[in-house]
Amino acid sequence: MSEPRVFLLPDLGEGLTEAELVAWHVAVGDEIAVDQPIAEVETAKSAVEVPSPYAGIVTELHGQPGETLDVGKPLISVTPLSTGVAADDAAPAPSPAHPVVEPNETELAEAKPADAVAETYREEEKAGSGNVLIGYGTPGGHSQARRTRARKSSVTVAERTGSTAPELSKEDDLTLLRTRVPGKLGAVISPLVRRMAREHGVDLGDISGSGDSGLIMRRDVEAALRTTAPAQVPEAKPAETRPLESEAAAASQEAQAANGVDARTGLPIAARTPVRGVRKAVAANMARSRSEIPEATVWVDVDATALMELRGGLKANGAEVPGLLAFIARFVTAGLKKYPELNTRIETAEDRSQEIVAFDGVNLGIAAQTDRGLVVPSVRAAEKLTARELDAEIRRLTDVARQGKATPTELGSGTFTLNNYGVFGVDGSAAIINHPEVAILGVGRIIDKPWVVNGELAVRKVTELTLTFDHRVCDGGTAAGFLRFVADAIENPTSLLADI
């Protein structure tokens, strides 16, 4: 029977180092095909369905839903199906003079036609469709292929089932020495077991391993948790003496008992929520923006009555009418053409010298609130699109973002961000710049306000525009000029919308 192939979690975009396993689409024992979706994972960018590069029978799933997996760690093990008599004829048993070499899992090696086993493996790799995720792919005709079977090693590693560890470099040996079981030279604790012990406060030095050479397994940590759990959670009173209370109140008390009491406030802790996925990415990016960018904010109230009347007239004629955000996006791209300083990025070299990088084009980011958090997909080459085309692309991007299906390219290629926080019923906000961009324009709600028109008081449709900008790339005069340009376009929209 063929040895299982272990598929490692690939880099799903822009150097991400981890992903949360949301759900499995397959189970142990299932027969799967090449490029069949096997799992859904959530990264800091989006939710992604991961396809399998192998066909065969699922022998092991390396992770549980809700678990965070590191890129490059095992995701699934698949045993290839038997290729039948033809395959046996094509791949005779190796002779002692031509032993089969098991390549390292990160090794890139050219297939040798003289080696029947290597040739068979290359042909199997060619069977893929060519669909590629960053970090792996089905070769589809390249002379080099990523090998996934590991060389044998004398080091015993926890939680490996039927496969051996890859050869270790000197640096790897030093790392493993730090994770060996005290007093047991040959026993190495797996990262999964170490993480479980760390998260639950279990001292591995107090545990006797049940694996080979005293290796500490997952079951040993779980057993230690079971022995300490009764001391952490107070025993419930007998049912007949417990006072009457709602199930919700009982659950709340149990949660508070499990989470403990906050030392600073003295209040029971109701819940602990890990910061991960999109929330983790947003937090890191916003913290970096505030720590690196000397920002300033300017704002202005705008009479949007003319724009509202223009849309109303188009609707009355039965035409397909873009949304208000699409019109404003059209004005923004025109404004950035006149004030290109706000469509740049600052790059810092290793010697701390800095450059302002300007772009020939605008990738307009649209801030979108989703169930997973705030994401900013971008309309590529937005300056080339009409208001109707912008409207269609904005709707498409916000839809895929809310479904968690936006690609890393769509989420990470913006040069300027437009944020419509008016949908939340607020007038203004000093937004944080979406690093590494240098400016963000916010649009508040449009409401009726008293406004002076030709010396007389009137009720007009008024909104507030807020521009936050990086003071390193321009001064207030440039920022105010851009903001005034967009405001004037909203108040007199026909001058810029001849091509809608």
Query: Cβ(51)–Cβ(37) under 8 Å?
Result: yes
The tokens for 46 are 């989006």
- Residue 256's identity, in one-letter code, is Q
DSSP SS3 for 413? coil
- Residue 236's identity, in one-letter code, is A
Q: How far apart are CA 202 and CA 192, in angstroms?
A: 13
The tokens for 404 are 């968690």
User: Dihedrals φ, ψ of 292, to 5°?
Assistant: -105, -30
471 counts as catalytic:
yes
Distance of CA 409 to the CA centre of its chain: 11
DSSP SS3 for 266? coil
Q: At what angle do helices 324-338 and 305-316 cross, to 10 degrees?
A: 130
CA distances from 64 to 27, 195, 255 (A): 12, 14, 23
Q: How far apart are CA 259 and CA 358, in angstroms?
A: 50
- The active-site residue out of 62, 98, 200, 471 is 471
- Residue 340's identity, in one-letter code, is P
Q: Of how many residues is the chain composed?
A: 500
Strand partners, 440: 417, 468
Q: How far apart are CA 182 and CA 171, in angstroms?
A: 20
Q: Give the residue among 287, 301, 286, 294 at the shortest CA–CA distance from 475.
A: 294
DSSP SS3 for 55? coil
CA distances from 310 to 140, 319, 323, 447, 497 (A): 53, 12, 12, 17, 10
| Radius of gyration for the chain, computed over Cα atoms and rounded to the nearest angstrom | 30
Query: Cβ(390)–Cβ(411) under 8 Å?
Result: no
Distance of CA 29 to the CA centre of its chain: 30
Query: Cβ(376)–Cβ(366) under 8 Å?
Result: yes
Angle at 372 between CA 369 and CA 377, to 5 degrees: 50
Active-site amino acid positions: 471
